[in-house]
Amino acid sequence: MAFWTQLGLLLWKNFTYRRRQTFQLLIEVAWPLFIFFILISVRLSYPPYEQHECHFPNKAMPSAGTLPWIQGIICNANNPCFRYPTPGESPGIVGNFNASIVSRLFSDARRLLLYSQQDTSIKDVQKVLGKLRQLGNSSGLDLKLRDFLIDNETFSDFLHHNVSMPSSAVEELLDAGVNLQQV
């Protein structure tokens, strides 16, 4: 049989079946129209509102490294939506967390560990350990406020010029004892 002959016989069979089953034909026509009218009524009662496009902060995948991945989870926990593109949407940028506290902490620790020969940070750490040993050996009453200041720090100049304290009062304040147990 040819294609057109088969199509004509199939349409004739369908027409005959539909003519004999009028109730089924009405249901097959009315049911989609009923659902369509429900959709129209919902659309008319709740009109659409204008929503701006949404740009989300980038989140690194675990393959980018553990630190960027965890920062992406913690820093974007509330999943904010911005109207304008975020800095991390540029191609090739994994994370824009370079200014976060955790990144600075790790970069400072890395610098301390890698460049400790040229850096004076090890000497500062040794001073802190010495003061901690001194604290452990004594009651802590012989520590002075001056011991907690960095060498060449301008705290006394600040007190003298900005607070208008006399130099003798500033020296007495810096020589005051500090009890860390009370602090």
Nearest to 97 by CA among 56, 61, 58, 63: 58
Query: Does residue 163 surpass a pLDDT of 80?
Result: no
What's the rounded mean pLDDT across residues 85-111?
A: 66
Residues 69 and 60: beta-carbon distance below 8 Å: yes
> Per the domain annotation, does 52 fall within a domain?
no
Query: Do residue 37 and residue 68 come from a single domain?
Result: no
pLDDT-based confidence at residue 94 (cuts at 50, 70, 90) = low
Residue 167 lies inside a defined structural domain of this protein: yes
Q: Is residue 54 part of a domain?
A: no
The pLDDT tens digits for 114-125 are 766 555 666 777
Torsion angles phi and psi, residue 68, rounded to 5: -65, -35
Query: What pLDDT does residue 102 have?
Result: 61
Using one digit for the tens of pLDDT, what is the confidence trace for 105-144? 777 777 777 766 555 666 777 776 776 676 666 554 566 7
**41 and 66 fall within a common domain:** no
Report the C-alpha gap between 155 and 142 in whole angstroms.
21
| pTM, rounded to two decimals | 0.28
Specify whether 111 is located in the same domain as 69: yes
Compute the average pLDDT of residues 50-69.
80
Number of domains comprising the chain? 3
Domain that holds residue 161: 140-182
Asked whether the predicted pLDDT for residue 152 surpasses 60, the reply is no
Dihedral sign from CA coordinates of 69, 73, 74, 75: positive
Residue 36, pLDDT score:
96
Q: Is 135 a member of any domain?
A: no
* Higher pLDDT, residue 1 or 47: 47
In a domain, 21, yes or no: yes
Residue at 68 is within a domain: yes
Mean pLDDT, rounded, for 74-87:
79
**Residue 3: inside a domain:** yes
Which range is least confidently modeled, 7-21, 39-53, 67-81, 162-176?
162-176
DSSP the chain: --HHHHHHHHHHHHHHHHHH-HHHHHHHHHHHHHHHHHHHHHHHHS--------BPPP---GGG-HHHHHHHHHHTTT---BSS--GGGSTT-----TTSHHHHHHHHHHHHHHSTTT-SHHHHHHHHHHHHHHHHHS-STT-BGGGGSPTT-THHHHHHHTS---HHHHHHHHT-B--TTT-
| Shared domain check, 97 and 70 | yes
pLDDT tens across 3-51, in order?
Answer: 999 999 998 998 898 888 888 888 988 999 999 999 999 999 988 888 7
Q: Is residue 126 part of a domain?
A: no
